[in-house]
Structure formats: structure tokens, C-alpha cells
């Protein structure tokens, strides 16, 4: 094996090992709440039937959770707030601030709870 090939394998091994270590302590919780928000967006998006295709869709832009929630207008505002909370939770997790991460996750979960009348 050449030295270049050995170095390439060593760098690849280090990158693979570092990727798991890079994830913060809140990452699994963030993923679970993100899946719940995504499911809520899908449920609302399918509730009204078909809508006219947006300009972004005709330009082949890929939809994001934020853009899908925004298309719901007033009905999607709470989901946009939940997505913003998840963004803040990720930012807090990246700097190791577990308390803020958990607080933002709790805020996102509270939005997803069914409203009781």
C-alpha cells in the first residue's frame, strides 16, 4: 500500500469516528420531535386536498419543513414556531447548552399537543 492510500484511509477513519462524537446530547430528542413536527405538517398539508402549485414548486425547489408549514398560512404558524424552536434547540445543542436545548424542545412539544377546548 502506498503512503498516500494509507493516509487517505486514516483520515477517512478519523472522520467517521468524529461524526458520532460531534452529535450533541440532545440530538436524539431533537430527531424525535422533528419527526413529530414533520408528521403534523404532513397531516395538515393533506387535510385540505389539492392546492395550486406554488412558484417555488414550478422552479423545482425542494420543499423544506419550513416552506411546507408556510404554505398553510395562518394554520401553519404554530408549526413554524415549533420549527423555529427546533432550530434554536439544535443551535444550543451544538454549543453544548443542554438546558436551553431541553427548554426549546419542551416548547416545540407544547405546540404539538392537541388543543383542549
pLDDT confidence bin for 7, thresholds 50/70/90: very low
Dist CA 33 CA 41 (whole Å): 12
- Is residue 85 a part of any domain in this protein? yes
- Is residue 3 a part of any domain in this protein? no
Dist CA 65 CA 28 (whole Å): 18
- Is residue 32 a part of any domain in this protein? yes
Residue that is written with C-alpha cell 426549546 in the block: 104
Residue 45 Cα to chain centre, angstroms:
17
Helix, strand, or coil (residue 24): coil
* Structural domains in the chain (count): 1
If you average pLDDT over each of 16-25, 45-54, 96-105, which comes out highest? 96-105
Q: What is the mean pLDDT of residues 31-59?
A: 79
Helix, strand, or coil (residue 62): coil
pLDDT of 30 reads 96
Dump pLDDT digits (tens) for 79-117: 999 999 999 999 999 999 999 999 999 999 999 887 443
- Is residue 10 a part of any domain in this protein? no
- Is residue 5 a part of any domain in this protein? no
Name the average pLDDT for the chain. Answer: 78
- Is residue 14 a part of any domain in this protein? no
Provide the domain limits for residue 54: 24-112
Residue 93 Cα to chain centre, angstroms:
13
- Is residue 51 a part of any domain in this protein? yes
Residue that is written with C-alpha cell 468524529 in the block: 18
pLDDT confidence bin for 63, thresholds 50/70/90: confident
Dist CA 56 CA 67 (whole Å): 10
Under a CB-based contact definition with an 8 Å cutoff, are residues 91 and 80 in contact? no
Amino acid at each position: 500500500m502506498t503512503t498516500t492510500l494509507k493516509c487517505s484511509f486514516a483520515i477517512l477513519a478519523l472522520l467517521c469516528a468524529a461524526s458520532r462524537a460531534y452529535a450533541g446530547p440532545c440530538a436524539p430528542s431533537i430527531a424525535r420531535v422533528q419527526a413529530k413536527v414533520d408528521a403534523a405538517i404532513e397531516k395538515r398539508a393533506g387535510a385540505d386536498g389539492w392546492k395550486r402549485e406554488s412558484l417555488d414548486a414550478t422552479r423545482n425547489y425542494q420543499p423544506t419543513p419550513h416552506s411546507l408549514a408556510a404554505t398553510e398560512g395562518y394554520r401553519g404558524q404554530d408549526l413554524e414556531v415549533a420549527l423555529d424552536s427546533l432550530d434554536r434547540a439544535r443551535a444550543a445543542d451544538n454549543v453544548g447548552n443542554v438546558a436551553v436545548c431541553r427548554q426549546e424542545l419542551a416548547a416545540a412539544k407544547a405546540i404539538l399537543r392537541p388543543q383542549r377546548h
